[in-house]
Amino acid sequence: MIVFKNVPTLVCDNCGDFYLTTETSKKLFEMATLTLEKGVEFEIINFKQAA
């Protein structure tokens, strides 16, 4: 399990749903892949400090 904290999001003005930019999504995927390759079973990553 990987928990990402402080991930920058965009919020829809109409419905309040959040979404990620393509750049943020790619960075999250890269960070998750590296974490899993290390064999980590649980990690909390502060996105703003790691990015």
Q: 12-44: per-residue pLDDT in tens?
A: 999 999 999 999 999 999 999 999 999 988 999
Give the mean model confidence (pLDDT) for residues 43-51.
Answer: 84
| Residue 5 structure tokens | 């904290």
Q: Is the pLDDT of residue 48 over 90?
A: no
Q: What is the pLDDT of residue 51?
A: 62
pLDDT of residue 8: 94
Q: Residue type for 46, please?
A: N
**Domain ranges in the chain?**
2-50
